């Protein structure tokens, strides 16, 4: 369980570093740079230590299609939605949206794989979704995007989309890891490198230049390296390794701790505060998660 806590501590720190990095550069360009760095490092590690584990020429057309889907969902689309939403939200609130991951994971399993859902699971899911209402009602803590859909700001919608495509991406990753003895470093290296190219194309088309603020290149490189190391090299590969040991649902359950770590980092380093809306959502979502998790244990889908 220590590795699950470490994983979410690393993910939480990247929200802080990304928020800081936005002071130095355009967000999508920074995303492309950090993913390119992470992808190259992952491929180098694969080449050095895992080269004989997977013969790239033996990868089938269907598997390449899945790898392409993984690049688009878990690397490009998830990160683009995340960095856009993070511009307008506190790091704690932004990270909190990923607490929806286990609920979406369960719904994917129900609709795609016909996994049995008990009334206790439906209760946990319902409480979890209702628990997000208070935090959706919370006013934007950084900048009001002025565009809302009911209680939802566009930043909320973007982070919600990031949480959905993230769990979809990790489901594809788990499927690939079970199909073939892929190295996680190979999969992450390929998807991050190709995903970074999509980010650069996005930045070229939609972001203003210069991509890095004048006089900020050194600070930009420092932040990009930290995020690449913590998230794309250590955390993503650790997540892929843990997918071979635990279910997606259990890993998603522990992602709850990332929002708490992120909120703490926001208080300590960015001067952000925790609102009553946030606390209400934390209590309600955690209750729903516990009900759902205990039922997963009883059904035998996961083990302690």
**pLDDT value, residue 142:** 47
**pLDDT value, residue 51:** 73
**Of 300 and 104, which is predicted with more confidence?**
104
Segment 143-194, tens digit of pLDDT = 445 466 666 788 888 988 998 888 888 778 877 877 766 778 888 899 999 9
Mean pLDDT, residues 220-248: 85
**Cα separation, 53 vs 23, whole angstroms:** 41
Find all residues with CB under 8 Å of 239, minimum gap 6, and list them: 7, 170, 251
**Cα separation, 54 vs 48, whole angstroms:** 13
**pLDDT value, residue 89:** 86
Give 54's pLDDT tier (boundaries 50, 70, 90): low
- Please tell me the least confidently modeled range out of 22-26, 68-72, 257-261: 257-261
**pLDDT value, residue 295:** 77
Share of the chain above pLDDT 90, in %: 34
Find all residues with CB under 8 Å of 44, minimum gap 6, and list them: none
**pLDDT value, residue 167:** 80
Tokens of 65: 């299609």
**Cα separation, 184 vs 176, whole angstroms:** 10
**pLDDT value, residue 149:** 65
Contacts 24+ apart (CB under 8 A), 111-117: 115/301, 116/299
Find all residues with CB under 8 Å of 60, minimum gap 6, and list them: none
**Of 128 and 52, which is predicted with more confidence?**
128
CB 188 within 8 A of CB 67: no
**pLDDT value, residue 65:** 92
């Amino acid at each position: 369980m220590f590795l699950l806590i470490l994983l979410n501590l690393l993910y939480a720190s990247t929200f802080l570093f990304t928020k800081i990095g936005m002071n130095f550069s355009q967000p999508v360009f920074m995303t492309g740079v950090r993913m390119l760095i992470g992808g190259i490092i992952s491929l180098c590690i694969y080449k050095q230590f895992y080269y004989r584990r997977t013969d790239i020429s033996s990868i089938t057309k269907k598997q390449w299609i899945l790898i392409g889907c993984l690049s688009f969902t878990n690397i490009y689309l998830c990160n683009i939605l995340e960095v856009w939403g993070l511009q307008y939200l506190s790091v704690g609130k932004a990270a909190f949206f990923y607490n929806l991951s286990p609920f979406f994971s369960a719904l994917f399993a129900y609709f795609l794989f016909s996994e049995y859902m008990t009334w206790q699971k439906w209760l946990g899911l319902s409480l979890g979704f209702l628990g997000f209402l208070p935090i959706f009602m919370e006013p934007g803590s950084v900048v009001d995007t002025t565009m809302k859909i009911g209680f939802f700001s566009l930043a909320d919608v973007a982070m919600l989309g990031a949480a959905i495509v993230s769990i979809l991406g990790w489901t594809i990753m788990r499927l690939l890891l079970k199909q073939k003895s892929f190295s996680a470093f190979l999969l992450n290296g390929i998807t991050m490198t190709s995903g970074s190219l999509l980010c650069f194309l996005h930045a070229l088309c939609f972001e203003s230049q210069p991509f890095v603020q004048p006089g900020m290149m050194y600070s930009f490189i420092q932040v990009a390296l930290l995020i690449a190391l913590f998230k794309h090299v250590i955390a993503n590969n650790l997540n892929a390794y843990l997918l071979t040991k635990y279910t997606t649902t259990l890993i998603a359950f522990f992602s709850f701790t990332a929002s708490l770590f992120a909120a703490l980092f926001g208080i300590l380093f960015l001067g952000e505060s925790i609102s009553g809306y946030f606390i209400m959502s934390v209590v309600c979502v955690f209750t729903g998660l516990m009900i759902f998790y205990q039922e997963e244990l009883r059904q035998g889908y996961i083990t302690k």
